[in-house]
A and B are shown apart, each in its own frame.
Chain A
Amino acid sequence: MIGVVSYLVFFLTLAAILAIAVLGLNLHWGNTGLFNGGIAAFFGMGAYATILLGGTPQAGQFGGFDLFYPVALAGGIVASGLLAWIVGVATLKLRHDYLAIATFGVAVAFESFVRNSEWLTGGAKGLRGFERPLEAAIGDPFLFNLCFFAFVLAVLTAVYYGLGRLIRSPYGRLLRAIREDEHAAQSLGKNPARIRLASFITGSMIIGTSGALYATFYAFVSPDDVLPILTFQIWAMLIVGGAGNNRGALLGAFVIWAAWTSSGWVLARLAPVELQLYTGTIQYILIGLVIVGMLLARPQGLLPEKLVISQSGGETPRRPVQST
């Protein structure tokens, strides 16, 4: 019985950690209309920075400052915020498809960098030597996992309600105004560029928080944690749940994570020995089908946002080609 509960805690902790990232993405996409194709980079930045700052010293390895955990965590969050600031300033004014490519490129560059900079990031073998906060003090592993889960849940709740208030605030309305019709918002004297940048940085910091917690949970991070598949998983979670609303984001996170872990479990048990190498591949196909399927069948997601479409006044932008 303890085994099942233990596994459940493990599963829920990860789902909650990823849900935080989905909430961050929802701020980008659902609320500000920004296409972030490089989630993995911000996630990874939070993870790596936290381990570097909070880990114990390792021979021949940069980092290991062994800082007090909250400081390390904060450092991870700030680091992802800084990365977002740089990326944002360089790319946010781009058209949506350019932005998708540019942010995707950021993630590829980030992965390439951490995979090769062994002196800084441990290269392909990743960073170890991180001691989970209070692990020794608590002693019992099951109890520790429970406490950590509670901690993650607390962070998730804080982010959820924080974002909820933000969205209902005048600032939130402003974000949606910019998303719908930038020119109108500009005519009201607001500076869309700065507001979008602020939103981008905030959302990325939330994603970085998720990465930091992830790294804390595993006490390890490696370049394989920042692959494009992570970006696709988070997007799938948002698409399935319903872009534009936080409840949908949470639902999507749990649904997709459940599907991912259960499919992995099923494949590991049922697939013949020769195919074991391909369980990951099959999971990729499944998630690809989920993304495409949802977009074809129910693009608004399981919990659609109630949209208020403002009428775009003035010049109608040139419509994309509609084939017949």
Chain B
Amino acid sequence: MIQALLDGILVGSVVSLGAIGLTMVMHLLRFANFSHAELLTIGAYVALVFDRLFESIVPATKAAVGPLSLTFALFLAILVSMVLTGLSAVVIDRLVFKRIRETAGPLSMVFASFGVALIVRSVISLIFGLKPRLYSDDIVMAVTISTDPHLLVKPDQVFVFGAAVLIMLVLHLVLSRTTFGYALRAVAENPTLAQVAGVRLSTVIAVTWIVGGALAGAAGVFHALDNQVSPVIGQNFVLAVFAATIAGGIGSVYGAVIGGFLVGIAFGLALVILPPGYSPAMPFLIILAVLFIRPQGIFGELR
């Protein structure tokens, strides 16, 4: 049971990072972005590419960092991946969503996001193949941290959790202590007044995509680190990330974090309680529960 909780917290870290970007975009642009989860896939694959690249250029980076299976090359690749995934998010917005929201309504953006998700996922499949891959062929043993109850934890998992928390902490500091963070929060609360206060909306929108994309990219790598790099990562997370966003309240970064861990833990427990194979449906149950109990989510506002 506790093992399930631990595994759930790990999944939660990934979902939280993915949900932060989604909640910001959904709140700002008022549309359910079905392509957000594909940013996780993009992140995982970009990291793969740069990991191999760095390893071939500087073979020394092939060394693993401490007890992790994470190599220095991969560590650098994660940073590059975050930047590039963030950029691809804003590029997709400029190419597709921006033009649609200027000419058509928010629902057209939702359809378009279906289309974008399909394209991204399929192009990745085409380029990299359908077969899943691994960052590292090393087999990393799980460490027994307790014998009664029997608890296993992989060093990579500790890294993922730690890195996720660190990223969220940095984001928190930006939001609470920098004027740029105030600008982001101002736009979230009242875009018109924010403009009157001198905030340029197009800049904030671009930054929201970049930050959201970067976080999602990191989430993708973190997930793949503990599992596999495959084209279906996004597909597998789309409902979970929506569930976290809805549970936390659309527009609330802190809500997305809490929602993400909630979904992760529920996943962990579901694997223990429900028969296997049903777990993909679990985020849907969370969504239903939230809409039933408190539709605006934990920190959201009723509209």
**Chain A contacts to B: CB under 8 angstroms:** 35, 37, 90-91, 94-98, 100-102, 104-106, 108-109, 112-113, 115-116, 229, 232, 235, 239, 277-278, 281-282, 284-285, 287-292, 295-296, 299, 320-324
Verify B34–A97 contact, CB threshold 8 A. Answer: no
CA distance A323 to B195 in the complex (A): 11
B136 in contact (CB, < 8 A): no
B165 in contact (CB, < 8 A): no
Verify A91–B291 contact, CB threshold 8 A. Answer: yes
Verify A104–B126 contact, CB threshold 8 A. Answer: no
Chain A residues near B116 (CB-CB < 8 A): 288, 292
Chain B residues near A235 (CB-CB < 8 A): 111, 114
Verify A288–B278 contact, CB threshold 8 A. Answer: no
Kindly provide the distance from the CB of B209 to the nearest chain A CB, expressed in whole angstroms. Answer: 11
Verify A285–B119 contact, CB threshold 8 A. Answer: yes
Verify B122–A281 contact, CB threshold 8 A. Answer: yes
Chain B residue with the shortest CB-CB distance to A275: B126
Please, what's the 1-or-0 string for B105-134, where 1 marks a CB less than 8 Å from any CB in chain A? 011101110111111011101100010000
Chain A residue with the shortest CB-CB distance to B105: A320
Instruction: Please name the 8 residue pairs, one residue from A and one from B, whose CB atoms are nearest each other, closest first.
Output: A291-B115, A105-B284, A288-B118, A288-B119, A97-B32, A109-B281, A116-B277, A292-B115
Taking a contact as CB atoms closer than 8 A, the residue among B119, B121, B125, B275 that contacts A292 in the complex is B119
B288 in contact (CB, < 8 A): yes
With a 10 A CB-CB cut-off, give which of B99, B104, B288 has the most chain A CB atoms. Answer: B288
Chain B residues near A295 (CB-CB < 8 A): 100, 104, 108, 111-112, 115
Chain B residue with the shortest CB-CB distance to A105: B284
Verify B32–A100 contact, CB threshold 8 A. Answer: yes
Do A287 and B28 contact each other (CB < 8 Å), given the known contacts A100-B110, A277-B130?
no
CA distance A232 to B242 in the complex (A): 18
Size bin of chain B's contact surface: 35 or more
CA distance A296 to B191 in the complex (A): 25
Chain A residues near B288 (CB-CB < 8 A): 90, 102, 105
22 A-B Cβ contacts within 8 A? A90-B291, A94-B295, A97-B30, A108-B239, A229-B118, A232-B114, A235-B114, A278-B125, A282-B122, A284-B119, A284-B121, A284-B122, A288-B116, A288-B118, A291-B114, A292-B96, A295-B112, A296-B99, A320-B101, A321-B29, A322-B201, A323-B101
With a 10 A CB-CB cut-off, give which of B100, B119, B279 has the most chain A CB atoms. Answer: B119
Verify A323–B118 contact, CB threshold 8 A. Answer: no
Kindly provide the distance from the CB of B202 to the nearest chain A CB, expressed in whole angstroms. Answer: 5
B171 in contact (CB, < 8 A): no
Verify B284–A98 contact, CB threshold 8 A. Answer: no
Verify A97–B110 contact, CB threshold 8 A. Answer: yes
CA distance A108 to B287 in the complex (A): 13
Chain B residues near A323 (CB-CB < 8 A): 98, 101, 201-202, 205
CA distance A321 to B200 in the complex (A): 12
CA distance A296 to B111 in the complex (A): 11
Chain A residues near B275 (CB-CB < 8 A): 116
Chain A residues near B96 (CB-CB < 8 A): 292, 296
B26 in contact (CB, < 8 A): yes
Verify B112–A291 contact, CB threshold 8 A. Answer: yes
B283 in contact (CB, < 8 A): yes
Taking a contact as CB atoms closer than 8 A, the residue among B31, B117, B125, B280 that contacts A108 in the complex is B280
Chain A residues near B285 (CB-CB < 8 A): 109
- The residues in B between 240 and 293 inclusive whose CB is less than 8 angstroms from any CB of A are 242, 246, 275-281, 283-285, 287-288, 291-292
Task: Beyond the given A112-B279, A278-B130, A288-B117, please list 15 additional residue pairs across the A-B interface where CB-CB is below 8 A.
Answer: A101-B287, A102-B291, A105-B287, A108-B280, A109-B285, A115-B277, A290-B115, A291-B112, A291-B114, A292-B112, A320-B30, A321-B191, A321-B201, A321-B205, A323-B101
Chain A residues near B125 (CB-CB < 8 A): 278, 281
CA distance A115 to B281 in the complex (A): 11
Do A96 and B202 contact each other (CB < 8 Å), given the known contacts A289-B119, A291-B112?
no
